[in-house]
């Protein structure tokens, strides 16, 4: 009995040391655990270079930068990372939204989509490929989109733009081939047409049974649609 207990404690201690070493390696390489989904739909486990933070030179502090998740990522397969003592930059492969279906970054999932940002007038109104974070799955899908802060500023601080651009624009589509549309603003006024094929949701929305503001009510309606009318 004592031998079994000793062996168990020894094994637990060894695993703790190995886990600590891996944590230190991840910190050194500035990576997080992640997965890419290739064009065949296969998931490949590995590690992704950490992103999603911007440094403010004036305030000397870091800000959330969720727009960075929408661009290319640098990925290394799990076995290569864990079995290579000295990692080199060329071992990380860059993937863009045209290369893979999507990726998982810790507990977040990002899908490659083609989207035209209609929230403001500019070059962003031309559709282009990007990764968007998916927050609701089903026949009606919901994503978060973020604007990019300006790259060049004259006599102006960039920090206020970091704060402004960290606010999500909620977009949705009906079906995998549906067009991505804004829920908020003028572009989202006709979202009700997309659930008219579900009498349950249409009636509840018309009778204002979905409480909260317009955005919250729409998200509740979409979740209800996916749960009750997904097969329509």
In a domain? residue 220 = no
- pLDDT for position 87: 93
In a domain? residue 230 = no
Mean pLDDT (the chain, rounded):
86
Query: Is residue 16 over pLDDT 90?
Result: no
| Spatial separation of the C-alpha atoms in residues 125 and 119, rounded to whole Å | 8
Query: Is residue 67 over pLDDT 80?
Result: yes
- pLDDT for position 44: 98
Residues 6+ apart with CB under 8 A from 128: 114, 115, 116
In a domain? residue 225 = no
Higher pLDDT, 189 or 84: 84
Where are the extended beta strands (E) located within the chain?
Answer: 31-37, 43-49, 53-56, 61-64, 73-77, 93-95, 102-105, 108-115, 128-136, 140-145, 169-174, 181-182
Q: Token digits for 62?
A: 């870091």
Range of weakest confidence among 9-13, 23-27, 32-36, 133-137: 9-13
Query: Is residue 100 over pLDDT 70?
Result: yes
Q: 13-20 contacts: CB < 8 A, separation 24 or more?
A: none
What pLDDT digit, counting tens, does each position of 166-203 carry? 999 999 999 988 989 988 655 455 788 888 899 999 99
State the total domains in the chain: 1
**Dihedral of alpha carbons 6, 9, 15, 21, sign:** negative
In a domain? residue 221 = no
Q: Of 225, 231, 226, 217, which is closest to residue 199 (Cα–Cα)?
A: 225
What pLDDT digit, counting tens, does each position of 89-98 carry? 999 999 999 9
Range of weakest confidence among 68-72, 89-93, 107-111, 203-207: 203-207
What pLDDT digit, counting tens, does each position of 139-152 carry? 999 999 999 998 87
Query: Is residue 76 over pLDDT 90?
Result: yes
In a domain? residue 106 = yes
What pLDDT digit, counting tens, does each position of 33-60 carry? 999 999 999 999 999 999 999 999 889 9
Q: Token digits for 116?
A: 């035209």
In a domain? residue 163 = yes
In a domain? residue 45 = yes
Domain holding 106, by residue range, is: 2-189
In a domain? residue 231 = no
């Amino acid at each position: 009995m004592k031998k079994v207990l000793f062996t168990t404690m020894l094994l637990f201690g060894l695993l703790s040391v190995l886990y600590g070493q891996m944590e230190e390696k991840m910190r050194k390489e500035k990576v997080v655990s992640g997965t890419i989904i290739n064009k065949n739909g296969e998931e490949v486990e590995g590690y992704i270079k950490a992103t999603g933070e911007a440094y403010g030179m004036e305030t000397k502090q870091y800000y959330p930068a969720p727009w960075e998740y929408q661009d290319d990522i640098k990925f290394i397969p799990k076995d290569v990372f864990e079995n290579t003592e000295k990692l080199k930059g060329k071992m990380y492969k860059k993937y863009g939204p045209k290369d893979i279906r999507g990726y998982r970054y810790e507990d977040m999932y990002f899908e490659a989509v083609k989207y035209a940002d209609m929230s403001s007038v500019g070059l962003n109104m031309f559709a282009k490929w990007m990764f968007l974070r998916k927050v609701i799955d089903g026949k009606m899908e919901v994503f978060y989109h973020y604007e990019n802060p300006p790259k060049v500023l004259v006599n102006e601080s960039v920090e206020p733009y970091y704060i402004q651009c960290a606010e999500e624009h909620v977009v949705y589509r009906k079906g995998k081939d549906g067009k991505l549309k804004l829920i908020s603003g003028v572009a989202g006024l006709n979202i009700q047409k997309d659930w008219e094929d579900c009498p349950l949701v249409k009636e509840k929305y018309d009778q204002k049974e979905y409480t909260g503001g317009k955005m919250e009510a729409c998200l509740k309606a979409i979740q209800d649609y996916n749960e009750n009318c997904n097969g329509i």
